[in-house]
Amino acid sequence: MAFRVNLTFILPSSGQLLRKEFVLLAAVFAIAGMLLYWSNSLVSKSLTKNENTTALQTDCTSALFILYSGKYDSSTKNLVLVVENKRSNDLNLESVYLFYQNEMKTFTVNDLLKGNQLKSIGITGVDAGFDRGIVKTNCPEVSVEFTPSQLT
């Protein structure tokens, strides 16, 4: 039993590609082109994302800031935190989280803490009774935690 495969796409008499084979070949090349474009854009986006993440991590590895002082006034519901950047890297202060017995409240800060400087953060509308708080920065591993006993 012998198999015979005819791979000739050219008609001997006319010299043109058969219509079905031409459409199939065009579809295969179109799909290959789309896959090539997609994979190229995926690789370039991944490289850009990894480069940005590496730059952020480099700036964050030596970052350090502390709670210099703080004050909470329950009558006005005002919380003032003074934080100190102990390194030369600038940090973006993003949020303050206050933890109560049954809930957590988030206060957006979005303020720049320049290297080797102090910064005052004022937050209004803070209810009494929070157990602890955290000041978060743009560096995921760099934050300051505090308790009401540390405030005056």
The reported pLDDT for the residue numbered 43 is 67
d(CA 151, CA 149): 5
The reported pLDDT for the residue numbered 25 is 77
Better pLDDT: 83 or 49: 83
The reported pLDDT for the residue numbered 4 is 64
Pairing relation of β-strands 91-99 and 104-113? antiparallel
Reply yes or no on whether the pLDDT at 54 is more than 60.
no
pLDDT, average across residues 53-73: 79
d(CA 58, CA 111): 20
Better pLDDT: 145 or 27: 145
Sheet holding 132-137, edge to edge: 104-113, 91-99, 132-137, 143-146
Better pLDDT: 51 or 59: 59
Statement: the pTM of the whole predicted model exceeds 0.75 = no
Is residue 112 within 8 A of residue 138, CB to CB? The reply is no
